[in-house]
Structure 1
Amino acid sequence: MTPLKYSAFCSLKTIDDLECIEVKHPKFNAQICLQGAQLTQFTHRDKGEFVWLSPSAQYKQGQSLRGGVPICWPWFGVLDKNPASISEAVLSNKHAHGFARTQIWKLVKINESVHGVTVELELTSNPVTRAIWPYDFTLRCHFHLSDELSIQLTTHNLSDSSFTYSQALHTYLQVNNINNVRISGAHQHTYVDALDHWQSKQQDGHIQIQQEVDRVYLGAIDYGFYDGKNTVNLKSNSHSSVVWNPWINKSKTLSQFPHTAYNTMLCIESGNILDDAVTLKSHERHCLSMTLTKD
C-alpha cells in the first residue's frame, strides 16, 4: 500500500462537502469521491474525456453527484421493480439505487507506476447500513486507470445467511452530439422498455437516441459507438445493462442537470438487474466489472 501522503500522483482534495482523491498522472487526470466511491473524472491526455460530469454537479453529503460512475447497490432503480427477495428485505430508506452511493468509503490501497494508477476503496456494513438492509457485507471497488478505465466491484457476503442484490456501475459517457450516436452490440438482444409499461422487445440494428430512452438489455453485450472523435468500447462481465438518455422533457425535471445536457451525455450501465440479480450464499463473493476504452 502507498499511503496517500507519500503518493507521487494522488492527493486528497475537499470540494464543498466531499473529500475526493485527485489523480494527476502524466497520461491522465482523474477524480474519485470517497462518498459513494464515485469516479467523477477520467481525462486522458490523448483520448480526452471518458466520462461525463454535469456542469451543475453538487458535491454535497448524502446525495450522489450527477455524472461520472455512481455505484448502485444493493438495489438498482426504484425498489418495487426489483425482485421480491430484494424489496422485501429492505427495512427503510427506499430511495432509488440503494445506499452505497451516499456512504463514505475507506481508502484501502493505491498502487502507482509510469503506466497507470490503481485505487481500491472499501465499504463495510455498519449501523447505518444495517438499519436499511439487515446483512453484513464488504464491498471493494477497484479502479485501474491507465490508457483505459477499468472498474471492478466485488461483494462479499459476511452474513450467516444468503442474500440477493441488484447493482450497476451507472456510467455516464461523454459524447459530442447525441443525434449522431449509433450504438452497436445489442442487435437481436431482448430489452425491457421502462417507458412502455416494462414490455419486452427485441433490438433491431443499432441503438439510436432520438427520444427519451430507458431500457434494460438482457444478455452479455459489448457496446461500441463513435463519440465524435474516438470509437468508444464498453465491455463488462454482466448479463444485463441499461441504456439511458433523458432527452428533452425529462431533462427539465432532473436535479444537477442543465436542460440541454442530454445532447452531450449517454448512460450505458453495466449491472445485475431484474432477473439477473445476484444471490450470494454466506461468505461467497461476486465481482461486477467494466472496462471502457477508446480507439
Structure 2
Amino acid sequence: MSESSNRPPISLSPGQWSFTRWKTIGQLEALEVHHPLFQATIVLQGAHLARFAPQDEADWLWMSPTARYEPGRAIRGGVPVCWPWFGDPGKNPPEVRKRIHTETAHGFARTALWKLEDVRESAHEVEISLSLDANEDFSDVWAGHALALLTFSFSVRGCQLALTTTNLGNDPLAFSQALHTYFPTSDISRTRVLGLGGSHYIDTLDNWEYRTQEGPVYFEGETDRIYESGEPLTIVTPKTSRKLSAVGSDSTVVWNPGPEKAARLSDFPDTAWQSMLCVETANAAGDYRVLNKGQSHTLGVSIGRKA
C-alpha cells in the first residue's frame, strides 16, 4: 500500500517533531516515539498501541511474535481498541446488538484506519491523538454515527489511554467497548491480579453464570471473565508489578486463552498463553453506555509502576 493511501493528512509538519517519526511496520503505517525517557509505537490501523517502554526497560506490553501487520487484519497483542461493541455481538445487550449487522467480534475500530489529529511533545511527555469518524462508510456493519478520539500520553512514569466517544447522530447511541490490553509475564502460573476480591463477575466459560471473586485472580487454564468493577488493580508477575487505574469504567475483563484455545487462535503461538494475560478496561455486559445526541463519554486507563 502506498504512502498516500496509508498516511492521513495532518495539520502540523512532521519536521516540528523532535521525538516522533513515521515508520512502516509490515504493510502498515505507524508512529514511533524515541524519547530520551521512553519509547512507544502506535499503528494507525486500529489506533493500536504496539509498544511502550521506559528507557532501558523491557516492553510493558505483550506482542505476539507471530503478529501480522496487514490491512484489515487485527493485530495480536499490545492494546487493541474494541469499539463500538465488545465481544460477540450476540452476547451484547439488545440496545447495542440492534445496531450491529455482522457476526464479527470486537467492532470495526481495530481494523479501521484512524486519522492523526495531534502530536504534542515536551522534555517529559509525548501526547498523540488519533480519531475515527464512524459514519455511513461503516453502515454495512453498524447503524450509527459517532466520533472516537483516542489520546495516548507517555512519560517515564507510565502511559495513559483515553478513548472519548461522541454521538453525532440524532438518536440515542448504545455501545460497548474495551481497551484490550495484553501484558507480559514470565510465568502465568505465578501471576495474579489484585483488586477484584469480592467483585461479582460473569464466567463466560460456564454458561455466563455469575460468580463472586474470592481473593486475587489466579490463572489455572483458560480464563474469560467480565468483572463488575472499575476499581484500581495491580498485576503481579514474577518480575514486575503494574498498577492500573481506570476512568469511565465499571467493568473489567480478565482473559487468558489457556492451552487448548491458544492452539486455535490466529497469530498466536501454541505456548504463548504461558507468557501473557489480558486485563481490559471496559464498558461491557451491563456496563454498556448510552449517549444522547452530542453527548460524550471517556473510557481511560493509566498504566504505571506499583509504588
Letter in 1 for 2:176: S
Q: Separation in 1 of the partners of 2:12 and 2:72?
A: 29
Alignment of 1:24-173 (within 5 A): 24-90=34-100, 92-146=101-155, 147-173=157-183
Which string of whole-angstrom CA distances, capped at 9 and with x for unpartnered residues, describes residues 92-151 of structure 1?
Answer: 333000111111000000000111210000000233212322221111000001121100
Shift of 1:259: 0.8
Look up the match of 2:253. 242
Aligned equivalent of 2:298, options 287, 291, 295: 287
Deviations 1:54-76 (A, max 9, x none): 00000011111000000001110
In structure 2, list runs of 5 or more residues that go unmatched. 1-10
Q: Aligned-pair RMSD on alpha carbons?
A: 1.2
- Secondary structure of the 1:85 match is helix
- What's the counterpart of residue 199 of structure 2? 189
Name the SS of the counterpart of 1:242 in structure 2. strand
Residues 154 and 285 of structure 1 are in contact (CA less than 8 Å); yes or no, is this contact kept in structure 2? yes
Is the CA contact (8 Å cut-off) linking 1:193 and 1:199 kept in structure 2? yes
Q: 2:277 aligns with which of 260, 266, 287?
A: 266
| Post-superposition offset of 1:46 | 4.5
Task: Please tell me the residue identity of whatever aligns with 2:283.
Answer: N
SS of alignment partner, residue 18 of structure 2: coil
Is the 2:136–2:145 contact (alpha carbons within 8 Å) kept by the matching residues of 1?
no
Shift of 1:223: 1.2
Gaps spanning 5+ residues in structure 1: where? none
Q: How do 1:213-224 residues align onto structure 2 when only pairs under 5 Å count? A: 213-224=223-234
Cα deviation 1:257-289 (Å, max 9, x = unaligned): 011111111100001001100000000000001
In 2, are the aligned partners of 1:5 and 1:11 still within 8 Å (CA)? Answer: no
Name the structure 2 match of 1:19. Answer: 29
SS in 1 for 2:96: helix
Greater shift after overlay, 123-132 or 237-246? 123-132
C-alpha separation in 2, matches of 1:127 and 1:133:
9
1:178 and 1:123 map into 2 onto residues whose CA distance is: 35
Contact 1:73 1:98 in 2 (8 A): yes
User: What count of residue pairs does the alignment treat as equivalent?
Assistant: 294
Partner amino acid, structure 2, of 1:130: S
Which 4+ residue blocks in structure 1 deviate beyond 6 angstroms? none
Aligned AA for 1:136?
H
Please report how far the alpha carbon of residue 2 of structure 1 lies from its aligned counterpart in structure 2 after TM superposition. Answer: 5.0
Distance 1:133 1:225 in 2: 35
Hey, what's the Cα distance between the residues in 1 that align with 2:296 and 2:129? Answer: 17
Identify which of 202, 211, 215 aligns with 1:205.
215
Deviations 1:226-273 (A, max 9, x none): 223332111102100100001111110001101111111110000100
Query: Is 1:10 aligned to residue 58 of structure 2?
Result: no
Is the 8 Å Cα contact of residues 2 and 111 (structure 1) preserved in structure 2?
Answer: no
Superposition TM-score, scaled by structure 2 size:
0.93
Normalised by the size of structure 1, how large is the TM-score? Answer: 0.97
CA distance in 2, matches of 1:48, 1:8: 23
Tell me, what secondary structure is at the counterpart of 1:48?
coil
Q: Is the 8 A contact 1:236 1:291 kept in 2?
A: yes
Per-residue deviation, 1:47: 4.3
